[in-house]
Amino acid sequence: MNINKEILDEIAISKFEYEEIVNKLKREPSRLELGLFGALWSEHCGYKHTKKLLKKLSDNSNDLPVKLGAENAGVIDIGNNISIVMKIESHNHPSAIEPFQGAATGVGGIIRDIFAMGARPVAILNSLRFGLPENKKNKYIINGVVAGISHYGNCIGIPNVGGEVYFSKTYEGNPLVNAMCVGIIKNNKIMSAKADQPGDLLVLVGSETGRDGIHGASGLASKTFKEQDELRSAVQVGNPFLEKILIESCLEAIKLEEVVGLQDCGAAGITSAAIEMAERSKLGLMIDVSKIPQRESQMNAYELMLSESQERMLLSIKSNGFSKVKNIFDKWDIKCEIIGKFIHKSSIDIYKAEKKLSSTPVSALTNPPLYDLSTNKPNWLSILQKTDLNKIDLPSESPKDILLQIITSPNIASKKTIFRQYDHHVQTNTVVEPGGDASLLRIKGSSKGISLSTDSNGKKIYLDPKVGTQIAVAEACRNISCTGAKPVALTDGLNFGDPEKEDVQYQLNESIEGLIQASKWFSTPVISGNASLYNESNGNSIYPTTIIGGIGIIDDANNHVNIKFKNDGDLIVVLGHSTVWGVTNDLSGSEYLETIHKRV
């Protein structure tokens, strides 16, 4: 095949990686196979720059019901035969290009990860980072993202109970849109996204497959994107109505014993979803692309395998189970087709009707080269850390004026204009509503409640990736404890710059080290997570932003507390003091420095 840089660039595969593919296959890949590799070896699916680091995290997850990274989302047992399923995921680049649909489908994607585990989604949270709101383009992105989340989440009937929003120049043109979803499930009902045995059928349900979102995982999420590039077609379009009925029908279908596994069809579409299932099942797979219901005519195998059309799920079902399964999806008027079969081989064989298009070893596809990251501390950081904040002059304005400036800055001001656009009451479990430190949901049929929070201060992580990440974990745990709950688990959303740059590598390394330590200190295991790299604004990396989603448990939700002052004359007490970097009540990374002195 005639391989040129343009083809490799389109799928974000380097020359070196192409040669690796040829080594593994002992031949040149076909164009279709190259598409599969591009998707699965993308940073987004293959975790080339983070896998070695994340392994350190997952090595600490052996006691969990589901090992970190093994399934669509993480699970934590909260007693009384109840487990919580939770994960955070980013949709940054799509939201930069098409804010409304980018954010909407970000919400849709994370919800599918949760019900793929068999869990009923009970809460959504959002961590958002934007450029400064006075800028017209940023305003357009902010309004679009919030409207997209509102549109998707409200329609689907899952309460949006919290999150956070910060504004900084560092996110200009590259907003962060991280969505977290939480689900509830009985312990013995947890699904696995795999097949049992050869002969099990691969069934696609949900939306028809169109040409939207091709190269979303590889081209869009896995390299630094340039705004002027016309990439809007790589952004998917969401249909929350379809997702709502997909949730209901899938949760109904998995009650059938004929249904073996359930898998979200997200980034890199059927390619990633199906091949991940095959890998987990230690089986091969044959797929007939002509069986995939198509939204557009004349779609070729490459497009069908790589489309990221939304609101699709894959099921693995027993060979005799199709008619029972189809009955359920028929009831909901949802398309349901057999598109393949698990086989006693170790390859993915793609057919178009009778014609065999390719046969590729699963292990080659799922084992991209893994890169070591530099641990060298960048010079600029050493210099920055030596800044003596005592040398900064006190401002000339009165303390009252300074206070007013700080509390009216967009970062500190109330976010009600945003969260009142999200339904936070549906499902009638919301005990502590958005607007406080963390939210609290009761669990019907039990006295227990769960508290949820997302936190991160990119400025502090920028100043010290390790300590800054620990501060984020501590903040999430503190916020949860402010509802009366005890923190029990974390999910992490890594949002970093270009991992091919040394200083970003250092930031990643340090941040994950910090996360591992902090999660041990607080006895809060990291049960799931997501990495979004190549986030850059005007050629500079964004602040490294490790967003921590936390969950806590309260044994009796009636005993919750909230942020409100209760009575006239009550005393206000400050508990504890912050000592960071050996300095008590340290100001670095504070809103005061940013608002008043325009520096971190």
Partner 1 sequence: MNIGIVVFPGTWSEKDCFYSLSNINKQFCEFIWHKDEDINLENFDAIVLPGGFSYGDFLRSGSIASLSPIMKKIKIYADEGNPIIGICNGFQILCESNLLPGTLIRNNNLQFRCEWSNIKVTNDETIFTSSIKKNEILSIPISHGEGNYYADKKTIDELENNNQIIFRYSDDKGYIDQFSNPNGSINNIAGIINKEGNILGMMPHPEKACEEIIGGADGNLIFQSLINSYNRPV
Cβ closer to partner 1: 252 or 591? 252
Q: Does 423 bind partner 1 (CB under 8 A)?
A: yes
362 C-beta neighbours (distance < 10 Å), count: 21
Cβ closer to partner 1: 245 or 343? 245
* 44 tagged catalytic: yes
Q: Does 422 bind partner 1 (CB under 8 A)?
A: yes
Cβ closer to partner 1: 154 or 346? 154
Q: Does 502 bind partner 1 (CB under 8 A)?
A: no
Cβ closer to partner 1: 291 or 560? 560
CB of 482 to partner 1, least distance (A): 18
Q: Does 463 bind partner 1 (CB under 8 A)?
A: no
d(C-alpha 83, C-alpha 74), whole Å? 10
Joined tokens for residue 147: 């409207």
CB of 165 to partner 1, least distance (A): 16
Q: Does 562 bind partner 1 (CB under 8 A)?
A: no
Q: Does 558 bind partner 1 (CB under 8 A)?
A: yes
Cβ closer to partner 1: 561 or 580? 561
> Please, which of residues 329-368 interact with partner 1 by CB under 8 A?
331-333
> 44, 49, 93, 151: which one is catalytic?
44
d(C-alpha 86, C-alpha 573), whole Å? 34
Torsion angles phi and psi, residue 410, rounded to 5: -55, -30
**Maximum Cα interatomic distance, the chain, rounded to a whole number of Å:** 80
Helical H segments across 14-115, by residue range: 15-25, 31-40, 43-46, 51-58, 92-97, 99-115
* 151 tagged catalytic: no
Let me know: does 57 contact 47? Beta carbons within 8 Å: no
Let me know: does 266 contact 308? Beta carbons within 8 Å: yes
CB of 157 to partner 1, least distance (A): 3
d(C-alpha 78, C-alpha 5), whole Å? 51
CB of 91 to partner 1, least distance (A): 20
d(C-alpha 156, C-alpha 312), whole Å? 15
Q: Does 7 bind partner 1 (CB under 8 A)?
A: no
- The pairs formed by 324-329 with CB atoms below 8 angstroms and a separation of 24 or more are 324/256, 324/258, 325/203, 325/253, 325/256, 325/258, 325/259, 328/249, 328/252, 328/253, 328/256, 329/205, 329/249, 329/253
Is 376 exposed, middle or buried (CB count within 10 Å of its CB: 0-12, 13-18, 19+)?
A: exposed
Size of the site for partner 1 (CB under 8 A): 33
Return the range that interacts with partner 1 (CB under 8 A); candidates 90-98, 198-206, 387-395, 424-432: 424-432
> Please, which of residues 227-256 interact with partner 1 by CB under 8 A?
239-242, 244-245
| Binding-site string for partner 1 from residue 121 to residue 160, where x marks contact by CB under 8 A and - marks none | -----------------------------xx--xxxx---
Joined tokens for residue 144: 């679009």
Q: Among all residues, which ones are annotated catalytic? A: 44, 91
Which residues contact partner 1 (rule: CB under 8 A)?
Answer: 150-151, 154-157, 239-242, 244-245, 331-333, 419-431, 433, 442, 444, 557-558
